[in-house]
Amino acid sequence: MKTKLVDHRYGKSRVRVMKILRDGATHTIKELDVAVALSGDFETSYTVPEGDNSRVVATDTMKNTVNVLAHQHLGVETERFAAVLARHFVTQYPQVQTATVETGERVWDRLTIAGEPHPHSFANAQSARPTVRAVATAAGVALESGLTDLLILKSTASGFEGYPRCEFTTLPETKDRIFATSLTATWTWSGEPADYNIANTAILAALLAPFAENYSPSVQTTLFQMGEAALAACPEIARIHLAAPNKHCLLINLAPFGLENHNEVFVPTDEPHGQIEATIARA
């Protein structure tokens, strides 16, 4: 039987690194979970029976590279570090055609003690996890930023009406419901902003404004409005992908207890959930 290797990549995942950025007595914490994946001229390491490792960059080397380049280059902007790291593998090893670096960040917020920001004490209070993806080839580096697990909820100004009904439809139409989701957003950079952190903050603020301020006739409508707002807020991004799984809040029937439930008491659940996604780009 004839076979062939159709696709391959390998790398090192869950490389944990924390760095203290010192500005005198004031510290900033950067904690990343880094994944590196390489593809290129590695076919013989898979297909030669006796094993040809002459082109294989050891995954332990990848881990060490993450640590050393973090020491040299990791600062407050994760995007710049991810681009340097991905570019390193393409330029250092001629057998590497594509290097992909993905990071997730644990955010440490500075504690406020007696009304003052503490210079070196922090708490991890956020649900959202910032992400970065850098893909390096000989042609350059493609960069994406985003976040996952951003829990957002509005208790009113959301409805769902006018959808097709059939013998299997039991969902009642409503003009007033809870809209809750765990948002994942990824935006693609077409240019380099003066400061990635400032740009990312502006994008997040732009995303949240239509969610909070506009009436939502559907999750689909709101996602499109959020994407439009993000693109308007940051000219350096070309497109944005949004994924919003519904966190359903089901109204509890209190009639057996002689009580009326006027959209007050609910059962929160996320199984099963609706999954709504959209990619919005500049025309």
Q: What number is the average pLDDT over the span 5-32?
A: 94
Instruction: Report pTM.
Output: 0.90
- The CA–CA distances, whole Å, from 261 to 21, 93, 177, 202, 251 equal 52, 65, 13, 39, 8
Domain locations in the chain as residue ranges: 10-138, 149-281
Banded pLDDT at 77 (limits 50, 70, 90):
very high
Whether 222 sits among the annotated catalytic residues: the reply is no
Task: Say what percent of the chain tops pLDDT 70.
Answer: 100
**Distance (Å, rounded) from C-alpha 78 to C-alpha 131?**
9
pLDDT at 247 over 90: no
- Helix and strand numbers (H, E) in the chain are 5, 12
Whether 63 sits among the annotated catalytic residues: the reply is no
pLDDT at 81 over 80: yes
pLDDT at 127 (0 to 100): 77
Banded pLDDT at 254 (limits 50, 70, 90):
very high
Is the preceding omega at residue 272 within 30 degrees of 0, hence cis? yes
CA dihedral 194→25→130→196, nearest 10 degrees, is 0
Q: What number is the average pLDDT over the span 48-53?
A: 88
**Distance (Å, rounded) from C-alpha 246 to C-alpha 180?**
6
Task: Please classify residue 229 by burial: count the beta carbons closer than 10 Å to its beta carbon, then call 0-12 exposed, 13-18 middle and 19+ buried.
Answer: buried
Topology annotation, domain 10-138: Urate Oxidase (3.10.270)
**Distance (Å, rounded) from C-alpha 200 to C-alpha 194?**
11
Q: Which CATH number fits domain 149-281: 3.10.270.10, 1.10.8.590, 3.40.50.20, 3.90.79.10?
A: 3.10.270.10
Classified as helix, coil or strand, 26 is strand
pLDDT at 131 over 80: yes
Q: What number is the average pLDDT over the span 255-274?
A: 91
pLDDT at 111 (0 to 100): 85
Same fold, 10-138 and 149-281: yes
Banded pLDDT at 32 (limits 50, 70, 90):
very high
pLDDT at 51 (0 to 100): 86
Between 196-213 and 78-92, two packed helices, what is the crossing angle to 10 degrees? 130
pLDDT at 241 (0 to 100): 98
Q: Are 265 and 252 in contact (CB under 8 A)?
A: yes
**Distance (Å, rounded) from C-alpha 185 to C-alpha 173?**
28
Q: Which of 28, 44, 59, 221 is catalytic?
A: 59
Closest CA to 207 of 190, 223, 191: 223
- The CA–CA distances, whole Å, from 153 to 137, 150, 165, 179, 245 equal 40, 10, 27, 6, 12
Q: What number is the average pLDDT over the span 55-72?
A: 96
pLDDT at 124 (0 to 100): 76
**Distance (Å, rounded) from C-alpha 195 to C-alpha 76?**
10
**Distance (Å, rounded) from C-alpha 195 to C-alpha 79?**
10
pLDDT at 94 over 80: yes
Q: What is the largest CA-CA distance in the chain?
A: 77
**Distance (Å, rounded) from C-alpha 187 to C-alpha 87?**
20
Q: What number is the average pLDDT over the span 48-52?
A: 86
What mean pLDDT value characterizes the chain? 94
pLDDT at 49 (0 to 100): 85
pLDDT at 26 over 80: yes
Q: What is the pLDDT of residues 97-125, one digit of tens each?
A: 999 999 999 999 888 888 999 998 887 76
Banded pLDDT at 270 (limits 50, 70, 90):
confident
pLDDT at 159 over 90: yes
**Distance (Å, rounded) from C-alpha 182 to C-alpha 270?**
10
Half-sphere exposure of 225 (CA within 13 A, CB side): 15
Task: Say what percent of the chain tops pLDDT 90.
Answer: 84
Whether 248 sits among the annotated catalytic residues: the reply is yes
Q: Which of 19, 27, 73, 248 is catalytic?
A: 248
Q: Which of 12, 63, 154, 241 is catalytic?
A: 12
pLDDT at 121 (0 to 100): 85
